[in-house]
């Protein structure tokens, strides 16, 4: 049995009771980074043995984990943050398990794009999750496809590529397209910046450095935002409260 166990994306309280029980009960926890996960496991007093499973050892390690599961072991997969399999190496192991008819149980829980989309203020009834845009090969083609996308677009991006991506999206989708940057979700300095691709670029270009983790939410083509949507400059709302501090 393989359990996919979502872990907090910042605030350590965001671990479900079921996740806690499964992490305590399994024989082995496969972690994307054992040192990162050690903090979480220590916080909750979980002493289950761990092993590493990440993008650079996935083929060898998946075979090893599958052999353990075929011998009867119950394994939980956790990644550095959020739901295993969402823009991280979970998929390979899931496929390897299913090929051998090993049951895969996915627990519901934290994932960064859901709170970003839910609080974005852009339509949530239909959306497309694009993960990370290709950095080089295929980037222009993907951008051209997104220009015709009517659903809300959700992207992951690293802080050092944010300006380039906002710029590329503005060229492909139009600089007045409404968009939102959700940064440091569930962490002490959580903030939502709402504006257009142009004004968000201007806002972040004026910062000394963009830090932290972020999700980019962009309106689909044809969407008419309500008249109050910030168009002239980005409006940044920091949602820090003592309760969101991790």
Identify which range of 18-26, 78-86, 167-175, 198-206 contacts ligand SAM by CB under 6 A: 78-86
Whichever of 39 and 224 has its CB closer to ligand SAM, that residue is 39
Task: With beta carbons less than 8 A apart as the criterion, state whether 58 and 97 touch.
Answer: no
Task: With beta carbons less than 8 A apart as the criterion, state whether 213 and 157 touch.
Answer: no
Instruction: Give residue number: closest CB to ligand SAM.
Output: 82
| Closest distance to ligand SAM from the beta carbon of 217 (Å) | 11
Q: Count residues contacting ligand SAM (CB under 6 A)?
A: 23
- Binding to ligand SAM by CB under 6 A, coded x per residue (else -) over 99-138, reads ------------xxx-------------------------
Identify which range of 74-82, 145-153, 193-201, 231-239 contacts ligand SAM by CB under 6 A: 74-82
What the block records as the tokens of 132 is 């990370």
Give the Å distances, CA to CA, from 96 to 1, 61, 138, 179.
12, 10, 27, 37
Which of 37, 50, 87, 120 lies at the binding interface for ligand SAM (CB under 6 A)?
87
What is the rounded distance in angstroms from the CA atom of residue 36 to the CA atom of residue 102?
A: 27
Interaction residues for ligand SAM, span 197-226 (CB under 6 A): 213-215
Task: With beta carbons less than 8 A apart as the criterion, state whether 174 and 222 touch.
Answer: no
Which of 186, 200, 203, 219 lies at the binding interface for ligand SAM (CB under 6 A)?
186
Beta sheet of 75-78, edge-to-edge order: 50-52, 28-31, 75-78, 2-4, 104-106
Task: With beta carbons less than 8 A apart as the criterion, state whether 79 and 90 touch.
Answer: yes
Whichever of 41 and 81 has its CB closer to ligand SAM, that residue is 81
């Amino acid at each position: 049995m393989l359990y996919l166990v979502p872990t907090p994306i910042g605030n350590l309280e965001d671990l479900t009771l079921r996740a806690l029980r499964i992490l305590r009960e399994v024989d082995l926890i496969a972690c994307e980074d054992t040192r990162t996960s050690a903090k979480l496991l220590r916080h909750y007093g979980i002493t289950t043995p761990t092993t590493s499973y990440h993008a650079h050892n996935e083929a060898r390690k998946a075979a090893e984990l599958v052999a353990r599961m075929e011998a009867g072991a119950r394994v939980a997969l956790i990644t550095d943050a959020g739901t295993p399999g969402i823009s991280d190496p979970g998929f390979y192991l899931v496929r390897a398990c299913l090929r051998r008819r090993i049951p895969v149980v996915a627990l519901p829980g934290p994932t960064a794009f859901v709170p970003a989309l839910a609080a974005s203020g852009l339509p949530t009834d239909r959306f497309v999750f694009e993960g990370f845009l290709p950095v080089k090969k295929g980037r222009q083609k993907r951008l051209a496809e997104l220009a015709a996308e009517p659903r809300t677009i959700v992207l992951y991006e690293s802080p050092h590529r944010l300006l380039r991506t906002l710029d590329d999206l503005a060229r492909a989708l139009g600089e007045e397209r409404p968009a939102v940057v959700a940064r440091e979700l569930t962490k002490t300095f959580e903030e939502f910046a709402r504006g257009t691709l142009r004004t968000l670029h201007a806002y972040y270009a004026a910062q000394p450095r963009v830090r932290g983790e972020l999700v980019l939410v962009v309106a689909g083509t044809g969407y008419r935002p309500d008249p109050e949507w910030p168009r002239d400059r980005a409006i940044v709302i920091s949602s820090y409260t003592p309760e969101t501090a991790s």
